[in-house]
Amino acid sequence: MSMPDAVPKQEAGVATPPVHVAIIMDGNGRWAAARGLPRREGHRRGVEALRNIVKAAGEIGIKYLTIYSFSSENWSRPADEIEDLMGLLKRFVRNDLADLHKNDIRVRIIGERASLKPDIHALLDEAEELTKNNAGPTLVVAFNYGAQQEIVEAARKLAEQVAGGKLSPAEIDVAKLSAHLLTHDIPDPDLIIRTSGEQRLSNFLLWQAAYAELVFVPIHWPDFDKAALEAAIGEFHKRERRFGGLTAKARV
């Protein structure tokens, strides 16, 4: 997909940035392989790219940035690679959490935590607890996350309410299921970006992506920078968003 050179200037009466941008950070391994480097170096450089994009998102004015950091399917990767990824997560929290907090960024974690090792579980809890009262942009980290399982869990909770006589099956609607998702207090993404050229969602925000604009870029994640983010937003602004209607609608 061709990309514009830059995002439109945010002047009076001109397009404003999307409220919520979600990113599937793909291509660390291929970036490393193309340079004859080990995969762990690709992941390390991917963390640097994440650091830069979080800063860029704040500068652009994005209120919610969701990153797909580790899926529930990623546990099938080689043990040494998982160990490297967990090590990078620990260093990211230890090295960057203070800066995120200083910049008034609120961190939210979505994903299954019960099965995580205690040290990882504690890190995720720490990131949320430290920043929970911050009023700035929200960084949503999808960790050990799978959209299908999220929807199943929401359906199970509704089924339990029905079984307990607290809810009638006829009362179940989109709003009620949405209220039981991990993202119940987060607006659905306006724009989902996937790097590396792959064109699929890979079990990411499947319910929430119903009316998101999808932009696939041929850039591996370690090379994704502010200019690439602005270009993706430029593509977003070229789309006519009708949300199932006949005329374009803007979301405030």
**Partners of residue 107 on adjacent β-strands:** 139
Q: Residue 33: phi, psi to the nearest 5? A: -60, -40
Which residue segment(s) compose the domain that 168 sits in? 20-237
- Annotated active-site residue 26? The verdict is yes
Q: Judge contact between 68 and 111, C-beta under 8 A.
A: no
Q: What is the pTM of this model?
A: 0.87
Phi, psi of 185 (to 5 degrees): -110, 20
State the catalytic residue, choosing from 52, 74, 103, 134: 74
**Which comes out higher in pLDDT, residue 15 or 9?**
15
Written in H, E and C, the secondary structure of the chain is CCCCCCCCCCCCCCCCCCCEEEEECCCHHHHHHHCCCCHHHHHHHHHHHHHHHHHHHHHHCCCEEEEEEEECCHHHCCHHHHHHHHHHHHHHHHHHHHHHHHCCCEEEEECCCCCCCHHHHHHHHHHHHHHCCCCCCEEEEEEEECHHHHHHHHHHHHHHHHHCCCCCHHHCCHHHHHCCCCCCCCCCCCEEEECCCCCCCCCCCCCHHHHCEEEECCCCHHHCCHHHHHHHHHHHHHCCCCCCCCCCCCCC
* 10 within 8 A of 199, measured Cβ to Cβ: no
What is the domain count for the chain? 1
Tens digit of each residue's pLDDT (9 = 90 or more) over 211-223: 999 999 999 999 9
Q: Worst-scoring range by mean pLDDT, 13-27, 36-50, 214-228, 234-248?
A: 234-248
- pLDDT-derived band at 246 (thresholds 50, 70, 90) equals low
Residue type, 119: D
Per-residue confidence (pLDDT) for residue 78, from 0 to 100: 80
104, HSE (Cβ side, Cα atoms, 13 Å): 5
CATH number, domain at 25?
A: 3.40.1180.10
| pLDDT of res. 86 | 81
Q: Residues for the chain: how many in total?
A: 252
Residue 182 CB coordination number (10 Å): 21
What per-residue confidence (pLDDT) applies to 73? 76
What is the tens place of the pLDDT at every residue in 51-71?
999 999 999 999 999 999 887
| Per-residue pLDDT at 243 | 61
Two structure tokens written together for 213 = 């604009």
Is residue 173 part of the annotated active site? The answer reads no
Question: Does residue 2 form part of some domain?
Answer: no
Q: pLDDT digits over 131-181, tens only? A: 999 999 999 999 989 999 999 999 999 999 999 999 999 999 999 999 999
Q: Tell me whether residue 5 is in a domain.
A: no
Q: How confident is the model at residue 252 (pLDDT cuts 50, 70, 90)?
A: low
Classify residue 13: in a domain, yes or no: no
Does residue 6 lie in a domain region?
no
Residue 46 has pLDDT above 70, yes or no: yes
Residue 27 forms part of a structural domain = yes
Q: Which residue has the higher pLDDT, 91 or 60?
A: 60
In a domain, 9, yes or no: no
Averaged pLDDT for residues 48-53: 94
Domain assignment present for 246: no
Q: What Å distances lie between residue 7 and 14, 15, 158, 252, CA to CA? A: 11, 9, 42, 18
Structural domain contains residue 153:
yes
**At 245, is the pLDDT very low, low, confident or very high (cuts 50, 70, 90)?**
low
